[in-house]
């Protein structure tokens, strides 16, 4: 079997795509010392200048270990010296906290590389060094990332001779979710003329007036069909925006390489299953000029997910040759292989011929994908992955999952995680001096370029979205009006300098920016007033809410392209973000991608509380027909004020009456097929549940 690996050039060697041999991979990355953060009240951790405070903070809190202040190497004749294990220097009783991110990443990846060396995964020291350098660089640049908590003890034994704590047990995604089976849904649809009268819907979606309420649903039979459960996956992600060619296209070699590094790294840590997600997928679509709610956007997202999952499976099979297949795969081989075959069929665009699926998946819409080389690579890699898994087994049976991780989002400073739409067109980023300033997201500039906007149009559109980031020429609140209320030039300079660092004028004009002493002595504001948690300096100075709103619009713009007059109406759907993306559009995206993810797509929808039973039932049935494994619905009273609930009710009722499954509004096209779960060749009985699947 090992000869097969060598013959097919499977696992080794690792190429260098991110680094150069003989160079420290961190030498090209500008760092700021731990003193920078310590002086600002943040944890002391030396880190790259491009890292935001939130990212440094989550790493410092979760990953910094207490280690011996001095250590010594343990010589090992069969191991390269840079992979030797270390322990505390004899007689050393002092401990210190790791204060450099380079040290933390070195011990984690070094420990993995040392283990791989002893397992015989590398054919030479050069290959081991390539893996070590490439992985460290990718982690530091955050083109790949792992949940920070995993860093806390990983490599402590190898680097310091300390006992490593057990791997953290991550919570199950489906914990607390209500399970719905196919039989239950069939009964709801088939036995009642009024689907909405079912007690189940009323029990799930009836709420009081106590604020937002969240319901998590698990479509258990669909999840079981795909064998998608995993007991304790290690959450990780790959940043698709960071792995591109200069022209903006996805760099397929870099994407595969990054995924490969993650799978190998997590396997060496001892994870039986992994949960690799996607970061910045929505900004990537925007940068490519593809609207989130478009056939081309959905096809692109599905193609990327297909390639990432295929690469994960293929790499897992390669490691299985060298380390042995996992017990999970051995005990569930038939179900896992059936699921892999169905994934492969979907990537070739098959409409039928799936094995034991109660709901037909959405195949890859080949004609809609704008990058055919991506599709071809995904298909080729799925052919290899299926073949190798059949021959060699797998180390991990669940490899990809698009569940949103707030911690990973902070760590990667990503504008979106999983299938989330981009949250806003603006971002806070570090400037050359390390200050955090508000800016237009780079993907928006790329979209402007693809649309052929001139520099003048781009600058005009930018000001409408981000604002002037200055009080100059601002209505109502400006240098003149603030001076008339007692502020001097020094106070105005402080405010002007801080405006680009926040997203609201109220956060820039505060006693903490102007100075509390100045507020007491010059503006004559009582100390007790300044201590009030709700104190608002702008209101105190006599500005009305209307004044503040107008000045805010000048300083910070609309935040979206929806009201940007410079951007033509036909282009605005491309720039839709956040709540501008409808619940139906999010379902359409999830339906397109679900067939190419071994875990969940984590669909979370916000709906108005009014008519909650109606809209909850509609979205649940739509998700079921789309073949989704789970759904989270949050009913928010704030949306009742923004939406015409009566109009929504009419639309929802019309959808449900039009079809026993209301996905006609969610499907990519109105064509539907009625199918039955097939009986296998072995004569097992299939379900007689009739299904309508939308295409």
Residues 6+ apart with CB under 8 A from 376: none
Together in a domain, 358 and 262:
yes
Together in a domain, 318 and 436:
no
Span 7-16, mean pLDDT? 61
Residues 6+ apart with CB under 8 A from 30: 48, 49, 50
Residue 474 lies in a domain: no
Together in a domain, 598 and 684:
yes
Residue 335 lies in a domain: yes
Q: Is residue 311 very low, low, confident or very high in pLDDT (cuts 50, 70, 90)? A: very high
Q: How many domains does the chain have?
A: 5
**Calpha distance 597→252 (Å, rounded):** 18
- Residue 688: the pLDDT is 28
pTM metric for this prediction: 0.89
Together in a domain, 502 and 520:
yes
Distances in Å between the alpha carbon of 125 and those of 12, 18, 121, 132, 338? Answer: 12, 18, 11, 10, 39
Residue 418 lies in a domain: no
Residues 6+ apart with CB under 8 A from 323: 119, 121, 267, 395
pLDDT tens-digit readout, 466-513: 999 999 999 999 999 999 999 999 999 999 999 999 999 999 999 999
Residue 1 lies in a domain: no
Which one has a higher pLDDT value, 269 or 229? 269
Together in a domain, 249 and 391:
yes
| CB neighbourhood size of 391 (10 A) | 13
In the structure encoding, which two tokens stand for residue 599, read together?
């875990």
Residue 240 lies in a domain: yes
Together in a domain, 596 and 680:
yes
Q: Is residue 639 very low, low, confident or very high in pLDDT (cuts 50, 70, 90)? A: confident
Which one has a higher pLDDT value, 402 or 39? 402
Together in a domain, 608 and 638:
yes
Together in a domain, 660 and 673:
yes
Mean pLDDT: which of 195-209, 541-555, 629-643 is highest?
541-555
Together in a domain, 155 and 195:
no
- Residue 187: the pLDDT is 82
In the structure encoding, which two tokens stand for residue 652, read together?
């929802």
Residue 266 lies in a domain: yes
Together in a domain, 543 and 567:
no
Q: Is residue 388 very low, low, confident or very high in pLDDT (cuts 50, 70, 90)? A: very high
DSSP 32: E
pLDDT tens-digit readout, 64-121: 878 888 888 999 999 999 999 998 888 777 788 888 999 999 999 999 999 999 998 8
Q: Is residue 202 very low, low, confident or very high in pLDDT (cuts 50, 70, 90)? A: confident
End residue of a domain, out of 513, 542, 574: 574
Q: Give yes or no for residue 685 having a pLDDT over 50.
A: no
Residue 683 lies in a domain: yes
Residue 417 lies in a domain: no
Decide if 59 contacts 103 (C-beta within 8 A): no
Together in a domain, 551 and 563:
no
Residues 6+ apart with CB under 8 A from 636: 212, 606, 607, 608, 609
Angle at 419 between CA 368 and CA 246, to 5 degrees: 65
Task: Tell me what percent of the residues of the chain surpass a pLDDT of 90.
Answer: 63
Together in a domain, 280 and 401:
yes
Q: Is residue 240 very low, low, confident or very high in pLDDT (cuts 50, 70, 90)? A: very high
Q: 503 lies in which domain range? A: 479-556
**Calpha distance 359→347 (Å, rounded):** 17
In the structure encoding, which two tokens stand for residue 266, read together?
């997590």
Q: Give yes or no for residue 6 having a pLDDT over 80.
A: no
What single string gives the DSSP state of each residue in 494-543?
A: HHHHHGGGSS-HHHHSSHHHH-HHHHHHTS---HHHHH-TT--HHHHTT-
């Amino acid at each position: 079997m090992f000869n097969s690996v060598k013959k097919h050039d499977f696992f080794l060697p690792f190429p260098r795509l991110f680094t150069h041999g003989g160079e420290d991979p961190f030498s090209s990355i500008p760092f700021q010392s731990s003193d920078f953060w310590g002086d600002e009240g943040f944890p002391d951790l030396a880190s790259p200048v491009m890292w935001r405070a939130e990212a440094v903070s989550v790493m410092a809190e979760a990953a910094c270990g207490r280690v011996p202040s001095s250590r010594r190497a343990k010589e090992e004749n069969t191991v390269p010296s840079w992979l030797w294990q270390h322990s505390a220097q004899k007689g050393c009783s002092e401990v210190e906290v790791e204060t450099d991110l380079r040290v933390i990443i070195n011990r984690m990846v070094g420990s993995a590389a040392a283990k791989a060396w002893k397992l015989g995964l590398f054919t030479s020291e050069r290959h081991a060094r390539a893996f070590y350098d490439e992985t460290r660089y990718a982690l530091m640049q955050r083109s790949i990332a792992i949940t920070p908590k995993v860093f806390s003890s990983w490599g402590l034994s190898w680097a310091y001779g300390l006992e490593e704590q057990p791997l953290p047990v991550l919570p199950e995604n489906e914990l607390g979710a209500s399970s719905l089976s196919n039989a239950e849904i069939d009964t709801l649809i088939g036995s009642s003329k009024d689907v909405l009268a079912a007690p189940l819907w009323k029990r799930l979606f009836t709420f009081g007036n106590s604020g937002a309420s969240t319901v998590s649903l698990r479509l258990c039979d669909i999840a079981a069909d795909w064998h998608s459960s995993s007991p304790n996956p290690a959450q990780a992600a790959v940043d698709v925006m960071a792995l591109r060619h200069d022209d903006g296209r996805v760099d397929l070699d870099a994407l595969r390489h990054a995924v490969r590094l993650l799978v190998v790294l997590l396997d060496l840590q001892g994870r039986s299953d992994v949960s690799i997600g996607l970061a910045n997928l929505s900004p990537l679509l925007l940068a490519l000029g593809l609207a989130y709610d478009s056939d081309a956007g959905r096809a692109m997202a599905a193609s990327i997910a297909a390639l990432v999952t295929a690469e994960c499976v293929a790499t897992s099979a390669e490691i299985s040759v060298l380390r042995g297949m996992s017990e999970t795969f051995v005990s569930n081989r038939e179900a896992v292989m059936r699921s892999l075959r169905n994934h492969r069929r979907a990537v070739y665009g098959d409409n039928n011929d799936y094995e034991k699926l109660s709901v037909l998946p959405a195949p890859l819409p080949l004609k809609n994908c704008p990058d055919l080389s991506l599709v071809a690579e995904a298909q080729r890699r799925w052919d290899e992955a299926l073949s190798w898994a059949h021959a060699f087994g797998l180390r991990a049976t669940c490899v990809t999952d698009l569940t949103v991780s707030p911690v990973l989002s902070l760590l990667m400073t990503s504008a979106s995680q999983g299938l989330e739409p981009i949250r806003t067109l603006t971002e806070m980023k570090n400037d050359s001096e390390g200050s955090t300033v508000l800016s237009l997201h780079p993907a928006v500039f790329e979209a402007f370029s693809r649309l052929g906007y001139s520099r003048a149009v781009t600058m005009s559109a930018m000001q409408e979205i981000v604002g002037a980031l200055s009080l100059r020429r601002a209505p109502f609140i400006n240098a003149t009006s603030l001076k008339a209320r007692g502020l001097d030039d020094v106070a105005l300079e402080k405010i002007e300098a801080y405006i680009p660092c926040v997203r609201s004028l109220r956060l820039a004009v505060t006693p903490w920016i102007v100075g509390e002493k100045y507020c007491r002595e010059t503006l004559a504001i009582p100390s007790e007033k300044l201590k009030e948690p709700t104190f608002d300096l702008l209101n105190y100075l006599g500005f009305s809410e209307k004044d503040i709103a107008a000045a805010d619009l000048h300083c910070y713009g609309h935040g979206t392209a929806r009201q940007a007059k410079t951007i033509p109406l036909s282009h605005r759907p491309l720039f839709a973000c956040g709540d501008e993306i409808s619940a139906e559009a999010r379902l359409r995206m999830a339906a397109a991608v679900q067939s190419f993810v071994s875990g969940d797509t984590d669909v979370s929808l916000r709906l108005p509380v009014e008519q909650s039973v109606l809209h909850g039932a509609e979205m649940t049935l739509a998700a079921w027909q789309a073949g989704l494994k789970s759904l989270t619905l949050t009913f928010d009273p704030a949306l009742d004020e923004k939406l015409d609930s009566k109009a929504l009710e009419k639309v929802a009722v019309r959808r449900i009456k039009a079809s026993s499954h209301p996905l006609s509004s969610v499907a990519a096209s109105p064509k539907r097929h009625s199918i039955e779960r097939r009986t296998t060749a072995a004569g097992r009985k299939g379900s007689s549940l009739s299904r309508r699947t939308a295409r």
